[in-house]
């Protein structure tokens, strides 16, 4: 036999062994156990070689490496590596449609968020925790938002608002020694199922491919590789961009540090530092934050954009001082507005014709809102207060506030706008708080005006700003405003985004008080139902307020018990 014939015979035998191997692989896949035994005996008797399945060993090896890396990063608390592997290797259809996968991902985010607190927390661990909990908050507001309708996960939406979760009763289970092993066991089982290598027999694959040519198969493979290459290029571009930004920030920080060292040496020798210099350093160091704050700064051109805080005791004074310290230097000669005849003004406001009253209300509001921030605006506001424009010190006389009960809608609207302008400033809120019947008039208007009227919106925003003062919070809670707000919020689709945001912000401020928590506890089931429904609302701006309210009221034992009952009922409905 010639050498060419021998080579040809070798190819035939190799192909035959490969074909017999595919037949055996298919029979094994379909669990024809007896047939496989007979097939093996027949092949041995005839001296036929049967090749082993190709590719599975390599795939299994790669899968084991991925599983090992995932579990290792889980143990080490390395959330960046873990979620990169998770994103790349867990099939998209599993992540987006499988409820068990979504549930596991939720708890994994919790694990990595609180990981720094499991050690003996020092300052560095606390800083790391704050960074991670902010990432967890982003997750809750994006991918995790879909689970807000499931009562099992409800308590954890308050986690970003808890200063020390290790001592909070709602999260004590997370710090039990058994919690991590249980979560890791779930992760291992999930990875075994979702990352198992493909066991589709080659014979079945060939059948599915049908009459496709080798060229078509290769073309499809090339296209797939091109997609992977494009995705890799996109990631590289993203990483390069992040690297360049980090490098630029580093150089900027080093430069500023060097300047500050020089400045420190200069102060030791008795030299003064100018405010302009400090401002320039602040701008360079926190330019992005300053741009954001400039966007969020007080804007009187639309209702209700003044400063507000999560704290019930924060009246805006400290933040105003901070903003003033970094504000650009005002011109030395700020023109003062002409003085007014306040006695005649107050008389015309109360007794004048409707058109005159509307024009005066508008002019007074513009005088305050269009004045230059700083000395000019402070002078305007002090003029209003010292001359008792709203007659808060003369309760027996007819006042500007009484125009909130006018039959004319325009008069009511312009009055509400003026009150809202007062409430936008800390000293204005202090002045309004001295009017005994203010809250009664405003809450009356809130409940009687048309839902989306401008008057009602301005009243709502003014109340939200006034709720930053403790005395006003107490009065609002006593007046039953919490129950009314909860009733309004149970049908959020009927409210504009503007009304929805300020209503939830007002509710949260009232819930921060012990008295407010007790009021919520009286209607715990109703409050929890409304707040959990709001967590799933498409308006993401309300979530910080809803989460804040939930965190606050869940500190009450009876509310916690009601939440657990909701979880049990949910599990009974959806076992």
Return phi, psi of residue 374, to 5°.
110, -135
Confidence of residue 457 (pLDDT cuts 50, 70, 90): very high
Residues 467, 446 contacting (CB under 8 angstroms): no
| pLDDT tens column, 344-380 | 888 888 888 888 889 999 899 998 888 888 888 888 8
Domain extent listing, the chain:
56-199, 480-575
pLDDT at residue 172 greater than cutoff 50: yes
Q: Is the per-residue pLDDT at 455 higher than 50? A: yes
pLDDT digits (tens, 9 = 90+) for 141-152: 888 877 776 777
Per-residue model confidence as pLDDT tens digits over 77-129:
888 989 988 988 888 778 877 888 888 999 999 999 999 887 665 555 677 88
With CA atoms as reference, report the closest residue to 380 among 300, 317, 454, 316: 300
288/283 Cα distance (integer angstroms)? 9
pLDDT computed for residue 510 by the predictor:
92
Q: For residues 178 and 199, give the distance between their C-alpha atoms in angstroms, rounded to a whole number.
A: 35
**Chain centre distance of CA 43:** 65
8 A C-beta contact, residue 93 and residue 140? no
CA atoms 105, 109, 111, 115: torsion sign? positive
Distance of alpha carbon 193 from alpha carbon 187, whole angstroms? 10
**pLDDT, tens digit, 9 for 90 and up, residues 207-262:** 766 655 566 666 766 776 776 676 677 678 777 777 877 877 777 777 777 777 77
Dihedral sign (CA 206, 210, 216, 219):
negative
Would you state the structure tokens that stand for residue 428, as one six-digit string? 């204005």
Other Cβ atoms closer than 10 A to 105: 19
Query: What's the pLDDT at 209?
Result: 62
How is residue 239 written in tokens? 């990483």
Residue with the larger pLDDT of the pair 309 and 528: 528
What would the 3-class secondary structure string for 467-536 be? CCCHHHHHHHHHCCHHHHHHHHHCCHHHCCHHHHHHHHHHHHHHHCCHHHHHHHHHCHHHHHHHHHHHHC
Residues 6+ apart with CB under 8 A from 477: 510, 513, 515, 516, 519
Give Cα separations from 459 to 26, 41, 172 (angstroms).
74, 90, 42
Shortest CA distance to 498 belongs to which of 547, 466, 464? Answer: 464
141: enclosing H helix or E strand:
helix 123-141
End-to-end CA distance of the chain: 73
**Which residues neighbour 202 within 8 Å (Cβ) at sequence distance 6 or greater?**
22, 25, 53, 54
Long-range contacts of 13-18 (CB under 8 A, 24+ apart): 13/49, 16/48, 16/49, 17/48, 17/49, 17/50, 17/51, 18/51
């Amino acid at each position: 036999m010639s050498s060419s014939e021998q080579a040809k015979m070798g190819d035939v035998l190799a192909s035959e062994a490969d074909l017999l191997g595919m037949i055996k692989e298919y029979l094994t896949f379909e669990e024809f156990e007896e047939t496989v035994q007979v097939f093996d005996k027949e092949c041995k008797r005839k001296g036929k070689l049967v090749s082993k399945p190709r590719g599975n060993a390599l795939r299994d090896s790669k899968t084991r490496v991925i599983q090992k890396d995932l579990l290792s990063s889980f143990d080490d608390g390395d959330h960046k590596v873990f979620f990169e592997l998770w994103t790349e290797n867990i099939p998209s259809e599993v992540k987006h449609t499988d409820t068990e996968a979504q549930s596991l991902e939720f708890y994994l985010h919790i694990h990595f968020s609180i990981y720094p607190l499991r050690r003996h927390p020092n300052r560095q661990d606390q800083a790391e925790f704050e960074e991670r909990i902010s990432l967890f908050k982003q997750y809750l507001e994006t991918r995790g938002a879909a689970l807000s309708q499931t009562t099992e996960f409800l308590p954890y939406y308050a986690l970003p608002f808890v200063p020390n979760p290790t001592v909070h009763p709602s999260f004590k289970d997370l710090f039990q020694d058994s919690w991590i092993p249980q979560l890791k066991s779930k992760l291992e089982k999930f990875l075994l199922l979702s990352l198992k290598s493909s066991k589709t027999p080659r014979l079945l694959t060939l059948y599915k491919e049908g009459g496709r040519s080798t060229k078509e198969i290769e073309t499809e493979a090339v296209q797939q590789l091109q997609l992977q290459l494009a995705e890799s290029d996109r990631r590289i571009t993203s990483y390069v961009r992040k690297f360049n930004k980090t490098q630029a920030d580093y150089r900027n920080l080093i430069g500023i540090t060097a300047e500050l060292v020089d400045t420190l040496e200069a102060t030791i020798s008795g030299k003064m530092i100018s405010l302009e210099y400090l401002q320039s350093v602040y701008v360079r160091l926190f330019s992005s934050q300053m741009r954001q704050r400039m966007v969020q700064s007080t804007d009187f051109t639309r209702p209700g954009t003044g400063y507000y805080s999560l704290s019930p005791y924060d009246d805006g004074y400290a933040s105003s001082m901070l903003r003033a310290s970094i504000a650009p230097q005002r011109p030395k000669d700020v023109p003062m507005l002409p003085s007014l005849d306040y006695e005649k003004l107050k008389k015309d406001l109360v007794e004048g014709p409707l058109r005159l009253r509307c024009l005066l209300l508008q002019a007074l509001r513009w005088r305050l809102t269009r004045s230059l921030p700083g000395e000019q605006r402070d002078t305007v506001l002090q003029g209003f207060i010292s001359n008792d424009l709203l007659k808060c010190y003369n309760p027996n006389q007819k006042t500007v506030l009484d125009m909130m009960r006018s039959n004319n809608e325009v008069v009511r609207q312009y009055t509400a706008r003026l009150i809202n302008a007062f409430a936008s400033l800390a000293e204005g809120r202090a002045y309004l708080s001295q009017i005994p019947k203010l809250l009664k008039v405003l809450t009356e208007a809130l409940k009687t005006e048309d839902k989306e009227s401008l008057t009602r919106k301005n009243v709502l925003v003014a109340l939200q700003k006034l709720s930053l003062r403790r005395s006003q919070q107490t009065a609002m809670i006593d007046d039953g405003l919490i129950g009314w707000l909860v009733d309004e919020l149970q049908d959020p689709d009927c409210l504009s985004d503007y009304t929805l945001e300020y209503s939830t912000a007002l509710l949260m401020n009232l819930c921060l008080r012990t008295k407010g928590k007790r009021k919520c506890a009286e209607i715990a089931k109703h409050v929890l139902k409304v707040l959990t429904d709001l967590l799933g609302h498409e308006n993401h701006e309300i979530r910080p307020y809803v989460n804040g309210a939930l965190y606050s009221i869940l500190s009450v034992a009876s509310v916690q018990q009601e939440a657990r009952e909701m979880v049990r009922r949910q599990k009974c409905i959806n076992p």
